[in-house]
Structure 1
Amino acid sequence: QSSQGIVLTEFGSDSWQIIPAENLVAAFQSSQAEVLATCRGASDARLMLGALELGTSGIVLETEDPSEVRALSSFLRERSFEGSKIELEAATVTTVKPVGMGDRVCVDTCSLLVPGEGLLVGNFARALFLVHSECAESSYISSRPFRVNAGPVHAYTQSVEGKTAYLSELSSGSQVMVVDALGRARSAIVGRLKVEVRPLVLVEAATKDGKTHSILLQNA
């Protein structure tokens, strides 16, 4: 139905939803109408709000299940991080010291990271370092712009909603925060982890307030 520039659409619970939703978003992309999709759960709402990377203008959630409302609320908070700005601070590296072998985690995301982007990782949650992705190609290794060689299993990384997680806690489907050198943030889905025994180095850096912070990274 269409009324005062609003299009309300509903798909059956057992119908093919993704292609019709994308067709609908494409059809009204250049119009002034607002397209609202009726959904019966948070998973359907995710599909509607992500159709053709644009999504419908909004959704109408029809449910009596409080857990679906909470799940949708969590998803909307995650979306609010897209394009947000993280304040980064420059630090001076004071120490780079080999420390031995450890279980190193490569985080393979479902997104292609561009130069300047990486994950925030550190030994302590109070100070995280921007660890760059493997998007740069060298004579020794091909470019893998979806991957961040993040550090050992104990390290913290920034996830969405302002929370941190141990690298060892991540798994396929987890959400992590990708940040670039200007502090612009977006979320990415973890595709897989590669945990392997590798030589590690301790990197220490001092900030303007005189405090020293640290991170362990693969010695490569």
Structure 2
Amino acid sequence: MSELDPDTDPDRGSETNAHPEDEGEGEHERETESDGHSDADGGRSPVDEAADGETAPTADDGDATGTGDVDAGVSPVEGDRERTVWLRADDAVGGWERRKRRITAGLEAGVDWVLVDRRDVERVRELGAVNVAAFDGGDVHVMEAEAEDPGGADPDLAVAGKGSEGDGTVDLPPELAGSADLAALRRGEVGGAYVRMLGEEYQTFAREAAHDADVTLVVGEDWTVIPTENLIADVGDRTGLVAGVTSAEEAAGSADRVCVDTGTLMNDDEGMLVGSMSRGLLFVHAETADSPYVDPRPFRVNAGAVHAYVRTPGGETRYLAELESGDEVLVADTDGETRTAVVGRVKIERRPMFRVAVDVDAAVEGEDENDRVETLVQNAETIKVAADEGRTAVTDLEPGDRVRLLYEPTGRHFGTAVEERIVEK
């Protein structure tokens, strides 16, 4: 998700309350780290200066600073987040010559994406090599001089929301039933969503859009009413879970077991990703189910032995033994949707353990041969995994049962994925 500051005038670099269709507006969108904090400082951006005819310095590492048209945010992409710079240059900026100057300045400053109306896609590509996103069906402010040349090139990303529900042109339907923008996303007709935060209902709309969109562009109106962090926490990442076959499970003696107690109440389909091998992390349910042995603890995941890895935000891992109060872990559901949770407490106790081994089919992951990953979990019926039959206690697993796990055939150093062959067994 990209979160955008209130709209700004590209000539003055000062904040205005104009709508996107107002003359002189343009946004410059930047994706940042998962904490949602902006890197924008005071002053004007390199793109602003170049748009006024001055020389634009090259952006360092694809970044840009300045209030003006610089807007910061995050995007829920799988694995590590990639910092990118977006430049808005649709007809809200003005006529083509003005848009052209703005795009040229952006290319010189090193932007990664240019957001335009569909008729300008080919024009942008003629100016330079850059990813081009275009509003889908959003050419509602076509100027008379340009109406004869609508263009027809396909963008790298089609974006819904301009001239429709996303920017408030069309009212949001009650409970979002029958939303045209959401329907276009779910049908795959567009891959991006543009949402102006015109009220609390637009936070819900943005969250729903982000579940189906590759990129969600959010224009903030009043972040004291709708905190940025709420959207980031609601949307989170998406993690691809695959099915593996349980080939064996057996008692493995006693070990130091870790319970991760979070400051978050988890749902029945949520848990954490843990495993002895960093390339294969088993989905372990939170303790939300009723049990004759213990009351539910929906804030807790009985995660496994101290040596095991647990998935954390940003596509990284930590050892369970390293976790402490205040750390962040990744909470996932059985569909692969994830969010961040803060650790409130870690309990380490000596407990009897099970060794669960899972074979990952090479055909599933495109590898040359099957791979086996495993982990140690407590030998107790309250520890449950996601099997084809639903939530299943590890004590009830049978050879051949299919369970859910995150499989990434890559090595890791200090929790970060590396391009290196590492043998774990």
TM beyond 0.5: yes
Q: Which amino acid aligns with 1:34?
A: E
TM-score (norm 2): 0.36
Partner of 2:297: 144
Residue 141 of structure 1 aligns to a residue in which SS?
coil
Partner of 1:108: 261
Q: Which amino acid aligns with 1:4?
A: N
Alignment match of 1:213 (pick from 366, 370, 373): 373
The amino acid that maps onto 2:374 is S
Is the Cα contact below 8 Å between 1:81 and 1:160 reproduced in 2?
Answer: no
Higher RCO, Cα 8 Å, sep 6+: 1
2:354 aligned partner = 201
Bigger strand fraction: 1
Q: Does residue 247 of structure 2 align to residue 94 of structure 1?
A: yes
- Which one of the candidate residues 333, 340, 358 is aligned to 1:187? 340
Amino acid paired to 2:316? K
Provide the secondary structure at the position in 2 that maps to 1:120.
Answer: strand
Alpha-carbon separation, structure 2, partners of 1:86 and 1:116? 14
C-alpha distance in structure 1 between counterparts of 2:220 and 2:375, whole Å: 50
- The answer for the alignment partner of 1:22 in structure 2 is none
* Residues 172, 192 of structure 1: 8 Å contact kept: yes
Retained in 2: the 8 A contact 1:123–1:155? yes
Structure number with larger C-alpha Rg:
2
Q: Which amino acid aligns with 1:49?
A: T
Q: Is the 8 A contact 1:5 1:34 kept in 2?
A: no
The TM-score with structure 1 as length reference comes to 0.68
The one-character-per-residue Cα deviations of 1:137-164 (angstroms, maximum 9, x if unpaired) are: 1111111110000001100000001110
Task: Provide the residue aligned with 1:120 in structure 2.
Answer: 273
Asked whether the equivalents of residues 264 and 341 of structure 2 are also in contact (C-alpha less than 8 Å), the reply is yes
Distance 2:271 2:314 in 1: 17
- Aligned partner of 1:35 in structure 2 is 222
Taking only the aligned residue pairs, the percentage that are identical comes to: 40
Task: Kindly provide the amino acid, as one letter, of the partner of residue 311 in structure 2.
Answer: Q
Cα distance per residue 1:113-146 (max 9 Å; x no partner) = 1111110000011110001110001111111110
Q: Which amino acid aligns with 1:218?
A: Q
Q: Which amino acid aligns with 1:160?
A: P
**Shift of residue 92, structure 1, vs aligned partner:** 0.9
Q: Give deviations 1:12-59, integer Å, cap 9, x for gaps.
A: xxxxxxxxxxxxxxx96479981257xxxxxxxxx9634xx46xxxxx
Aligned position for 1:18: none
Q: Does 1:160 pair with 2:313?
A: yes
1 CA distance for matches of 2:220 and 2:293?
53
Q: Go from structure 1 to structure 2 and tell me whether the alpha carbon gap of 1:28 and 1:194 turns closer, same or farther (over 3 Å shift).
A: same
2: distance between equivalents of 1:116 and 1:135? 9
RMSD: 2.9
Give 4+ residue runs of structure 1 displaced > 3 Å after superposition.
Answer: 27-33, 47-50, 79-83
The 5-angstrom pairing of residues 37-116 of structure 1 reads: 49-50=228-229, 53=230, 79=232, 82-116=235-269
Secondary structure at the counterpart of residue 34 of structure 1: coil
In the alignment of these two chains, the number of paired residues is 166
Q: What is the rounded CA distance, in whole Å, between the counterparts of 2:282 and 2:271 in structure 1?
A: 10
CA contact (8 A) 1:82 1:187 kept: no
* Alpha-carbon distance between aligned partners in 2 of 1:147 and 1:33, rounded to the nearest angstrom: 34
- Rate the CA distance shift 1:33–1:147 in 2: closer, same or farther, 3 A: closer
How far did 1:80 drift?
8.0
CA shift in 2, pair 1:126/1:35, >3 Å: same
Write the letter of the residue equivalent to 1:211.
D
| In 1: Cα distance, 2:201 partner to 2:234 partner | 26
| Matched-pair contact (CA < 8 Å) for 1:81–1:161 | no
Cα gap change, 1:5 to 1:156, in 2 (>3 Å):
same
Partner of 2:242, secondary structure, is coil
Structure 2 counterpart of 1:4: 17
Amino acid of the structure 1 residue aligned with 2:241: L
